[in-house]
Structure 1
Amino acid sequence: MARRRAVVTGGSSGIGRATAVLLARQDHDIAIGYRSDVDGANRTKALVEDEGGKAVTFRLDHAEPEQAARAVDRAVTDLGGVDVFVNNAGVNHRGKFLDESLADWQRLLAVDLTGPFACAQAVARRMVEQGTGGRIVNVTSVHELIPIDGGSAYCAAKGGLLMLTRVMALELAEHGITVNAVAPGETATPMNGVPEHVDAAAIDRPMIPVGRPGRAEEVAALIAHLASDAAAYITGSTLHIDGGLALMGAIPNQAYAGRI
């Protein structure tokens, strides 16, 4: 069987890296998007190749959405087409509503909402041209629905990505393209200050019902399922993978030490 082709943004570490490696293990060739960590992207590339997959890397910056969309489009060409798009790249930011600057608000929405929109649109257009359907998975956050103290811009962006996912699913279904969101809670990744060698089980999180953060590999497994043939009848859904954090309701900063 021919290998499938997947584009993964934010692939230089954490959830993106774990997803790229798992998809390669499941017979995908991978285009690995990164913003600045070229060494991390090359490390992911080597891990993908160890799994027998073809791998290419490409740079994109969601703060420049048009540039990011062009970069993704070129990556699809380099890969020879696209069957799966994992819209994972983003940033985390906290700022009190009364103190948030307009510049920080606009940058956060560009990186976590407008950039992902532009990239998903570019990929979806290529999938429609191919005429063979596809899978798009947007990585949001438990805070797409659950407010957090200091999260006005972040929650607004992730909530917007949730609704974008649903509209995309509605409009792209006729083309055989499913669109779903994966909403992690706190995940033990370098972006959240956890070195790669530290396992999530070693981190105490009493505010999370299961008592620890998630592992990048656990989130990747859910993404890979949504990218598979087994998930062909799932579209327009958000699947939370948060250790039960969403059960706790709104989260004040003083009660929650983690970052999501």
Structure 2
Amino acid sequence: MHSMKHLLLGLTWILLVATGAAASDAGRLYLPLDDAMGAVDRTLLKARENNKRALIIMGANWCHDSRALASNLQAPELAAPVSEAFEIQYVDVGFLEKNFDINRRFGLPVIFGTPTVLAIDPETQQLVNRDSLHIWSNAASFSKDETLERLAVLANPTAQAASPPADTSEVLAMLLAQIDTFERQQAERIYGGFAVVGPMLAAYMKGEKPENFDSYWRQLHTMRSQLPKDLIRLREQAELIVASGKEEAQLQIPAYPLFDWEKPSETN
């Protein structure tokens, strides 16, 4: 219920922005860059020099959650503690069509929502919040205090460790490889969805109403919201299988329904 409410609120906000009803410029920090990867490199270097974590925030100015997070980070009561712990780089994903080489650089096949917050250890250049980065796609629902609490966890090196599982057995390695393959397969489907929905979103922002946009957006949102939860569950399941000694046990890998645009044309 919460997810559907959030989705409808998001669509309403996009429409308000598209029609000019949302006049505020707050949080519009997702700007086109000639060299986004270079900006990320500079942020990592600065974070390393200043003994901070790097936050790479991938979002868009049309996204109310992206703008809400940026606005919270700029609020006077958050700006000082956030700047003490992090070097921040905002990355514009456009209409879901650019800068995905950045998330892939840090081992994330695809972003699950906007914004996606990548917390990076500048020493190792490792992503340290893989199992919680999806929460930020609901950033508009976080109060300033809640935003600060979630960031405090990412600022603490002992709270989020970028380390491999304790068990490095062949069985666990095989199970994790299966999960990685599943994640890459679903990432390709999501990128295919971006290619379909992104141009529709761009048209929507101009005040147009492309046919099937609401339905397509909802389908993509539902899958992107569920996938990170399933990945966490699968990795936990893999460790339980190894701990139990039942090496013949199989992962319960979910099967998501086809998107409408993936179905044969005669069934659309």
Confirm or deny a common fold (TM above 0.5). Answer: no
TM-score, normalised relative to structure 2: 0.30
TM-score, structure 1 as length reference: 0.31
**Larger Cα Rg: Structure 1 or Structure 2?**
2
